[in-house]
Amino acid sequence: MTNWLEKTKRPVLPIYLAALVWPIMALVLPIYTLGGLIATAVISAGVYIAGTKLCPVRVVRVPVAYATGSEDVDALLNGVTANLDALHKLNDEIPDKQLSDAMDRMEKAGRSIADTVARTPDKARNIDRFARYYLPEMVKLMGAYAELEKQGVKGENADQIEADLRRNADTTAAAFENLLDALYSAEAMDISTDIEVLDSILDGKKSFQVAFMSGELSAQGDFEILRNLDTIFRFG
């Protein structure tokens, strides 16, 4: 589905017409005098107002990749998409199957992450490091490796770089997939807590509802989920 963004376009013709008044009036009146200056300014303003009536402000709709309602989130997602496109292009240039498979996994998870945040923009904060560090860094590393492949660099150092990159690529792909899983899980409930509070809950010392009401645990989602968790863990 195409997203649309409405933009206001102000015509420049009224500005040009108002500016044109000054050299024309200079031929007719001594605009260096106070009276001439005031008369020219008034006529210029009148021409500008008339021009805005003839050329009103227009609102146009332009297609955009994302329209979440937040310019910051849209910019973040546009950056993710640009990096994923670059990763896809590099994948076509890298013949190594293991690296290519890992890059396929990264791209698939990355695009799903972007789609998830586009649907629920409040999750953008959860992908900040992915978007601003991990993904761009992986594109940078793959780009450097692709350049080595183009130059035909061989030797022990090149082999070590390739081995390290394979290992890191698999790890990074798994990390992207785990982030996607975490975003999906957060759609049901997003709970953040420290280990001590969690231990207290699991040890049966307090319920999820008590921890939430005391402020030790924060949650987003249906409060009914907390009651269900208490039922599962048999809190009285």
pLDDT digits (tens, 9 = 90+) for 123-167: 888 888 899 888 998 898 888 888 877 777 666 666 777 777 887
Question: Same domain, yes or no, for 132 and 161?
Answer: yes
Question: Same domain, yes or no, for 157 and 201?
Answer: no
pLDDT digits (tens, 9 = 90+) for 68-126: 778 888 889 989 999 999 999 999 988 888 889 999 999 999 999 999 998 889 888 88
Q: What is the CATH number of the domain that holds 89?
A: 1.20.930
23 CB burial (10 A radius; 0-12, 13-18, 19+): exposed
Domain that holds residue 32: 3-63
Backbone angles phi, psi at 44, to 5 degrees: -60, -40
Question: Same domain, yes or no, for 13 and 97?
Answer: no
pLDDT digits (tens, 9 = 90+) for 190-205: 444 444 555 554 555 5
Contacts of 8 (CB under 8 A, 6+ apart): 57, 58, 59
Q: What is the DSSP string of 19-85?
A: HHHHHHHHHHS-TTSHHHHHHHHHHHHHHHHHHHHHS--EEEEEEES---S-HHHHHHHHHHHHHHH
Question: Same domain, yes or no, for 118 and 208?
Answer: no
Whether the pLDDT of residue 182 is over 60: the answer is yes
pLDDT of residue 26: 87
- 187 vs 129, which has greater pLDDT? 129
pLDDT digits (tens, 9 = 90+) for 4-54: 555 677 888 889 989 998 888 888 888 888 888 888 899 999 999 988 888
One-letter amino acid of 47? V
Question: Same domain, yes or no, for 44 and 18?
Answer: yes
Question: Same domain, yes or no, for 96 and 136?
Answer: yes
Token pair 């798994």 is found at 174
pLDDT band for position 234 (50/70/90)?
very low
Whether the pLDDT of residue 212 is over 70: the answer is no
- 182 vs 215, which has greater pLDDT? 182
Question: Same domain, yes or no, for 46 and 82?
Answer: no
Question: Same domain, yes or no, for 90 and 54?
Answer: no
